[in-house]
């Protein structure tokens, strides 16, 4: 099945290009020939500066946008829209303001018709996993940014997706909370292994999290510039010699600023 690339891949992008037609029928060529295979349980980070097409690529994987050419394949099947097999976490928390933490996390199973007792059990498991036990009946406005993003992560997991797609989920958090959430992300991923694709413009975050870093070109149309394997044991240390060496290499080779 050559057209699907690596048949062992959990999710594959095959020759994806995307052109948007903006106001006044102006064309914006956002992605050019992106091919990527992600293995089951692999943690892949897509790294690039603002406006290089990262979010568009993730939205195509999520089935929220259609590629102009190419396709996304999950478990050998072509994606033709959003699906429960993919859990999404965005930078803006996208929580239901009028629902409690429990109400937000159990929403997915509820929509799928899972009975109350069972969905509460599942939701509680993921609320516990993200460390929000005791906050089940709070509303989003009663939570800090980090806590809101924990709800977003628990809500995505509650659908028990095979692939987690995260788009700069910690971009709105202060530096300290962000590092804490990165540590939590690794802990959760080690506890509940999933295939993860994580978009960021932050090189330290990419190196802390990823098994592999997909570096995008710094300008449109977005292309994969380079792929780095990060063979460092977890939990990683920002001050570790090998960490800093790879950080230097990526920074030198890219247009990212320190
Ligand atoms: N629906 C759309 N219609 C028209 N243009 C779009 C649309 N979505 C994205 N774009 C354009 O695509 C380009 C890349 O945007 P995208 O959000 O994918 O980049 P990004 O790397 O994720 O940026 P950031 O890190 O700033 O979010 C931008 O120039 C944007 O204006």
Main-chain phi, psi angles of 236, to 5 degrees: -85, 160
**In angstroms, what is the span from residue 53 Cα to ligand 1's centroid?**
6
Q: How many Å apart are CA 54 and CA 199, to the nearest integer?
A: 7
Q: Which atom of ligand 1 is least distant from the CA of 65?
A: 1
* Token pair for 96: 């239901």
User: Mutate which of 16, 18, 22, 54 to test ligand 1's pocket (most atoms within 8 Å of Cβ)?
Assistant: 54
Q: Which whole number is the average pLDDT over 230-240?
A: 96
Q: Where are the domains of the chain?
A: 96-160
Residue 130: both structure tokens together: 């993200």
How far is the centre of ligand 1, averaged over its atoms, from the C-alpha of 85 (Å)? 24
pLDDT category of residue 258 using cuts at 50, 70 and 90: very low
Range 180-206 average pLDDT? 95
pLDDT digits (tens, 9 = 90+) for 83-111: 999 999 998 888 999 999 999 999 999 99
> Residues lining ligand 1, CB < 6 A?
20, 22, 28, 30, 48, 50-56, 201
In this structure, which residue's CA is closest to atom 18 in ligand 1? 53
Is the CB of residue 225 less than 8 Å from the CB of residue 215? yes
**pLDDT at residue 24, rounded to an integer:** 81
Q: What is the mean pLDDT of residues 8-12?
A: 93
SS3 per residue for the chain? CHHHCCCCEEEEEEEEEEEEEEHHHEEEEEEEEEEEEEECCCEEEEECCCCCCHHHHHHHHHCCCCCCEEEEEECCEECCCCCCCEEEECCCCCCCCCCCHHHHHCHHHHHCCCCHHHHHHHHHHHHHHCCCCCCCCCCHHHCCHHHHHHHHHHHHHHCCCCEEEEECCCCCCCHHHHHHHHHHHHHHHHHCCCEEEEEECCHHHHHHHCCEEEEECCCCCECEEEEEECCCCCCCCCCCHHHHHHHHHHHHHCCCCC
**Confidence label for 254 from pLDDT (cuts 50, 70 and 90):** confident
Of the pLDDT bands very low, low, confident and very high (cuts 50, 70, 90), residue 256 is: low
Nearest atom, ligand 1, residue 201 CA? 25
Chain centroid to Cα 43, Å, comes to: 9
Say how many Å lie between the CA of residue 201 and the centre of ligand 1: 14
Query: Cα(220) to centroid of ligand 1, in Å?
Result: 10
């Amino acid at each position: 099945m050559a057209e699907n690339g690596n048949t062992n891949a959990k999710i594959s992008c095959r020759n994806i290009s995307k052109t948007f037609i903006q106001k006044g029928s102006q064309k914006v060529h956002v992605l050019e020939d992106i091919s990527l295979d992600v293995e089951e349980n692999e943690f892949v980070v897509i790294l690039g500066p603002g406006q290089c097409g990262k979010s568009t690529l993730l939205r195509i994987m999520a089935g929220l946008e259609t590629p102009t050419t190419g396709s996304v394949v999950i478990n050998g099947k072509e994606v033709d829209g959003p699906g429960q097999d993919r859990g999404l976490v965005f930078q803006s928390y996208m929580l239901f303001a009028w629902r409690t933490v429990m109400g937000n996390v159990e929403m997915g199973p509820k929509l799928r018709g899972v009975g109350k007792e069972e969905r509460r059990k599942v939701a509680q498991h993921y609320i516990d996993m993200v460390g929000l036990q005791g906050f089940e009946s709070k509303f989003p406005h009663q939570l800090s940014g980090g806590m809101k993003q924990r709800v977003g992560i628990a809500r995505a997991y509650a659908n028990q997706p095979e692939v987690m797609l995260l788009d700069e989920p910690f971009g709105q958090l202060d530096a300290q909370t962000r590092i804490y959430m990165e540590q939590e992300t690794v802990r959760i991923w080690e506890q509940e292994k999933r295939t993860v694709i994580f978009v960021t413009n932050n090189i330290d975050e990419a190196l802390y999290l990823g098994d592999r870093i997909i570096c995008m070109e710094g300008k449109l149309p977005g292309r994969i510039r380079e792929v780095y394997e990060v063979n460092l044991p977890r939990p990683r240390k920002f001050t570790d010699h090998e960490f800093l060496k790879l950080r230097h290499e990526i920074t030198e080779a890219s247009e990212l600023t320190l």
